[in-house]
Amino acid sequence: MVKLTRRGALMGGGALAALSACGQKTVVPALAPTTAATPATAARLDGTAMAEAIAAGETTSIEQVSAAIARAQAVNGQINAIASEIYDIARAEAGHTTAGHFQGVPTFIKDLHNWKGAPTYFGSRAFKGYMPGKDDPLPAKWRAEGLVVLGKSTSPEMGLMASTEPLVTGETRNPWDTTRIVGGSSGGSAALVAARVVPFAHASDGGGSIRIPASTCGVFGLKPSRGQLPAHDGPNGPPVDISVQHAVTISVRDSANLFRDTQTNDGTYPPLSADLQPLQRRLKIGFSTDAFAGTQVAPETKAALEDVANLCAGLGHEIVPYTPSFSGQEFLDKFLLYWAAGAADFAQQASAFSGKPVGPDIVEPWTLGLTNMFIARKDEMDATVAWLKGFESQYDSGFTDQSIDVLLTPVTGSPAVKLGEQAPTVAYDTLYNRVVTFASFTAPMNVSGAASMSVPLSWSPSGLPIGSMFSGKRGDDQLLFELALELEAARPWADRLPGVVAS
């Protein structure tokens, strides 16, 4: 057996040994260590270890960027997770980025968000040719941390779908089974991380879009509490602020370090601890495998979550039944009308940019169906917005009334379904039922602003990942990170690799 040096592991194989060794030697302070630090092997290598090695001069940014580009080129033909690539720009920037904690580490930005120098399609044919003039707020923080962006990861049109099969770039395929979906809307990012192209990638979540693809692709994804990380330009957000941005990662510590480096620190929340440790206190965990609106949940998903509940009990946590403090059917109706309003607004933006009337040649049938739903019910919007604004207290009462610290549920109603079942061209009524059955657990945390995460602790009998969703209240981000570190140590996942893997 060939013995890999740490540099060799970072390079990702002998085929890359001839790559240029130029790059920066700027040393920055080490990222916060954790007792769950990942070993420096090719399978488990994370962005924190990569950044430390670059800063120490053990490798260079150009080596790591070139290796990541080679990995992307090796597997993207199988998974189709890249909406656009800017490899020449990335090579030129490697070694010359801002001296932040993640200086020189390669990554991707989700196609719904702007990165200066790369096109943004918003997952839509209508926006082909759009080149933003500046970064969006969270990507700007990533640039300040010295990250090197290789391109944009795929997303469904405007993130409106739980599967990443947009007409503009085609279907993104799951590295665990390329006949299956990757989830949405951060599907391309999750696929690239699962295939070990990059250690982490940018993601956003307005109704489950970090946690759903994290679950279906077997990676870690934390949805921050509302206001913890930058999400919007300017002080005024939407009427009900449901969308946040962060990342999908292999290791928990990468997620925590990215969170810490981009946290707004405006006084709303305390800064994430600089010495984050696995959870020490024991929790009372509310547990349910029933979908909030009563939709069907697959037997393998229920079995996986029951196993995780037993894992938590074995770690000393108290597991108790959870009953929702709100009507799941009422929530679903209000949320989807608000979601449809967003689709209608996007359709108008697509029309304005393309110069064409709203129709099937510029936006997808799913987007048009949601738009028509909004038009038919727009008189209900004021009451809907008021109801959603009051939902946080309803959600929180389930924790106080039942004296629980954290909620444990599935992320989705089943493991990844077959490609085409949730394609945007499926008849609207059929697709509606499929989407609300699959994406059946995540949206309440968006409306309440709560912290929530998908942890890759289970696989189905056929080998598909099944994430476990742990959710707290708004501001419980550190608690979830501490719990995630404990679970990562108890049941490590980083060495479990899909069939399509670049390492």
Residue in the structure block whose two tokens are 């994406």: 439
Cα–Cα distance, 98 to 101 (Å, whole number): 9
Is 110 tagged catalytic? Answer: yes
Q: Are 208 and 102 spatial neighbours (Cβ–Cβ below 8 Å)?
A: no
CA angle 44, 50, 55 (to 5 degrees): 155
Q: How far apart are CA 225 and CA 239, in angstroms?
A: 17
Question: Is 251 in the active site?
Answer: no
The span from the first CA to the last CA of the chain, in angstroms, equals 17
- Output the CA torsion sign for 254, 392, 113, 160: positive
Q: Which of 84, 110, 243, 255 is catalytic?
A: 110
Q: Which of 61, 153, 185, 225 is catalytic?
A: 185
Residue in 446, 419, 422 with CA at minimum distance from that of residue 433: 422
Task: Locate 228 and state its tokens.
Answer: 């913890």
Which is catalytic among the residues 153, 186, 209, 215?
209
Q: The tokens of 301 are what? A: 């998903």
Beta bridge partners of 471: 407, 452
Residue 389 is among the residues annotated as catalytic for this protein: no
Q: What is the DSSP letter of 179?
A: T
Q: Other CB atoms closer than 10 Å to residue 68's CB: what's the count?
A: 27
**Looking up tokens 């800064």, which residue turns up?**
271
The set of catalytic residues is 110, 185, 209
